[in-house]
């Protein structure tokens, strides 16, 4: 992929995982990364990074995490660096 591909897996606030790790400086939700994929949701007017949203989903790492509702959000994004990219681009 010319611009790069990013896959992130972070503890999500949709379950208890984000609150389990007290050392975490930020917590995330499946929509936390949309400001980087849609210019209408930008947090800062001078934001320069641009990504094409591909998919996001919540998952449990294993049965232990499922038992205690410790969900993780996985998001897939493609970096836009000026190249043409198939699909709708919102940023």
Question: In this structure, are residues 91 and 50 in contact, taking their beta carbons and an 8 Å threshold?
Answer: yes
| Whole-number pLDDT of residue 24 | 61
Q: How far apart are the first and last CA of the chain?
A: 18
Residue 22 has pLDDT above 60, yes or no: yes
Tell whether pTM > 0.85.
no
What distance in Å separates the CA atoms of residue 53 and residue 5, rounded to the nearest whole number?
A: 10
How far apart CA 78 and CA 1 sit, in angstroms, is 8
pLDDT of residue 64: 92
Look-up: residue for tokens 């995982």? 17
Sheet holding 71-79, edge to edge: 5-11, 71-79, 51-60
The secondary structure of residue 49, as a DSSP letter, is -
* pLDDT of 91 higher than 60: no
Summarised one tens digit per residue, pLDDT across range 27-83 is: 677 788 888 888 888 777 787 778 888 888 889 989 998 998 888 889 998 888 776
């Amino acid at each position: 992929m010319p611009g790069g591909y990013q896959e992130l897996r972070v503890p999500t606030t949709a379950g208890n995982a984000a609150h389990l790790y007290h050392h975490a400086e930020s917590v995330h939700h499946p929509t936390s990364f949309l400001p980087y994929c849609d210019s209408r949701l930008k947090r800062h007017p001078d934001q320069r990074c641009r990504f094409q949203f591909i998919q996001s989903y919540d998952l449990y790492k294993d049965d232990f995490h499922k038992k205690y509702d410790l969900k993780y959000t996985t998001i897939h994004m493609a970096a836009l660096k000026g190249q043409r990219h198939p699909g709708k681009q919102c940023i």
